[in-house]
Structures are given as C-alpha cells and as structure tokens.
C-alpha cells in the first residue's frame, strides 16, 4: 500500500489535499490545532516516496528547533537517513550559500559572522573613528536602525541622517574584517543572486521543490530570497492571524504578494482539527 493511500485513512480531506498536491504553487492557511506540522512532514515524506530526490527539496522554517523537529519526524516516517534533504532556517541557508559563493561578492572564503556584541563593538569603534560624541552613541538604538536600513524596513530620514556616515563606516569595517552581520545572511544571498544570474540558476535547478513553514513570519527580504529561488513548485504554510515575529520585521503583505506573484496558486485551508 502506498503512503498516499495510507494517508487517506489518517488525514481529513483538506490535510490530504495539502499532502498530495506536490506540483505548482500552494498556499496552505492553517488554523491552530489543524495538524499543520503533520501535514508538512507527511507532504515531504510523500514527495520522497514518489521518487523526488532528497537533494531537490528545500524546507525553510524559523528556528533551529523547528528545523530539527521537522527533520526527525520525516526520518521516523520514511525510515531513511535523509543526508541530502535540506531542512533549515532562512539564516542557516543563507550561511550555506555564502560559504559556497561569497568570493563573488569580494569577501574571502573564511568570513566571520558577527553576533550582536561584535556588531555593537564595531559600531562603537566606527563612532570613535568619526569622532561621534559619547552622547550620540546609543548602541542599541543605532544597531536597530542599521538593521532596519539594511533590510529595507526603513529609509534614511532627517532624524536618522546623522548616522548615515557611521553606517557607511560600519559597513566598511565589516568588509575590512571579512565579516558579515546577522542581517547580511539574507541580504547578501539576495545581492549575490541578483548580480550573478548563473549562480541563481544553479540553485533554482537544484532546489525544485521549496516549502516554507510559518510563512506569516517571513520578512520582506526572506520573501524576496524565497521568490528568487522558487520555480513553480513552492508551498507556503501560514497562519493568517498570528505572527510572533512582528518585532523582526515580519511582513503580512507577503501572503498577498504570494497570491499576486504566483497567480495559479492553489489555496488550501486547514481549519478542521486533526
């Protein structure tokens, strides 16, 4: 008995449709208690059973814990080792791309990733270089502003303009120290893909099936990265009324954008409790 037939007995009709629809763009809207995690893991297991190579599947989520749990569940279901399946957070996937390709952006291969402490230390050092007064150096505020500018959540304005030269000095410092910050892990792969169409094409050819969990939590730039990578087989799973990542720039517009960017989308609502 195939897994798909077996699933007919285990899933309700909406869940079954989500698990068995493998080709084309799909938007799965999942309410609380609708068996969302089960649907994602069964869907990937079903794809593997149908002969889709592990290496062609990319599943993106938000926390390392969620990625690890998803991988464990798929292993249990399939009984396979899954060495070539990519289940990752957006940022970890960004690191993976940069480890392969960062020399094309003018960095050396052995780059460092700055955490928040490193970032603030470099901002402080850059401020000293530019003779900023200690009063003007609210590191938390400046670090947040730099993130907002880099990720496109905010533009320079009359209030923030005094920090523009500091931002440029900070960016030069990162490059000088062959380092990237947390935001660069999404920003730089996008830049790489836009400037190197052949690199983008190689990733699009490799990852022919993409799934994104907690889609309502994606930022504008994570959406852009996903949109660049996606061929037509892209499934996103989102809850249209909860976003725990609003503080990290989650963009509710992305659900609307998805329907616009993939006009032949199939929408499936998981409302019934599993």
Among residues 160, 177, 194, the one where a domain terminates is: 177
Residue 110: pLDDT band by 50, 70, 90 thresholds? Answer: very high
At 226 the pLDDT is 96
What is the Cα–Cα distance from 166 to 163, expressed in whole angstroms?
5
HEC per residue, 124-171 = HHHHHHCCCCHHHCCHHHHHHHHHHHHCCCCCCCCCCHHHHHHHHHHH
pTM surpassing 0.85? yes
Query: Do 84 and 28 share a structural domain?
Result: yes
E strands in 31-129? 57-61, 86-89, 112-114
Over range 161-169, report the average pLDDT: 97
Domain total of the chain = 2
> What's the mean pLDDT in 188-216?
96
Average pLDDT, the chain: 91
CATH number, residue 253: 3.40.50.300
Q: Where are the beta strands (DSSP E) in 164-249?
A: 179-181, 209-212, 234-238
Q: For residue 90, what are the domain limits?
A: 3-99+186-270
> Is residue 34 assigned to a domain?
yes
pLDDT, tens digit, 9 for 90 and up, residues 18-48: 999 999 999 998 877 777 888 999 999 999 9
Share above pLDDT 70 across residues of the chain, in percent, rounded to a whole number: 93
Query: Do 266 and 248 share a structural domain?
Result: yes
Residue 199 lies in a domain: yes
pLDDT value, residue 247: 39
Do 142 and 252 lie in one domain? The reply is no
pLDDT in the model for residue 245? 44
Task: Please say which residue of 177, 195, 216 terminates a domain.
Answer: 177
Question: At which of 157, 177, 197 does a domain end?
Answer: 177
Query: Residue 4 has what pLDDT?
Result: 67
């Amino acid at each position: 008995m195939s897994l798909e037939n077996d699933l007919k007995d285990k899933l309700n009709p909406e869940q079954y449709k989500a698990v068995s629809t493998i080709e084309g763009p799909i938007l799965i809207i999942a309410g609380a208690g609708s068996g969302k995690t089960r649907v994602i893991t069964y869907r990937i297991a079903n794809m593997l059973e149908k002969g889709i190579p592990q290496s062609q599947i990319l599943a993106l989520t938000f926390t390392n814990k969620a990625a690890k749990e998803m991988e464990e569940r798929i292993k249990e279901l399939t009984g396979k080792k899954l060495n070539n399946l990519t289940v990752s957070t957006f940022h970890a996937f960004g690191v993976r791309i940069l480890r392969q390709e960062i020399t094309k952006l003018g960095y050396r291969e052995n780059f460092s990733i700055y955490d928040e402490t490193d970032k603030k230390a470099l901002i402080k050092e850059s401020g000293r270089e530019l003779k900023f007064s200690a009063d003007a150096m609210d590191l938390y505020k400046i670090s947040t502003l730099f993130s907002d500018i880099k990720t496109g959540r905010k533009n320079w304005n009359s209030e923030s303009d005094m920090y523009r030269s500091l931002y440029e000095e900070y960016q030069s410092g990162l490059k000088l120290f062959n380092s990237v910050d947390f935001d660069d892990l999404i920003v730089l792969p996008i830049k790489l893909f836009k400037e190197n169409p052949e690199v983008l094409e190689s990733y699009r050819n490799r990852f022919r099936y993409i799934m994104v969990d907690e889609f309502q939590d994606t930022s504008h730039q994570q959406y852009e990265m996903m949109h660049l990578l996606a061929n037509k087989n892209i499934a996103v799973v989102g809850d249209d009324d909860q976003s725990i990542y609003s503080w990290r720039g989650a963009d509710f517009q992305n659900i609307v954008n998805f329907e616009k960017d993939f006009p032949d989308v199939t929408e499936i609502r998981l409302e019934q409790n599993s």
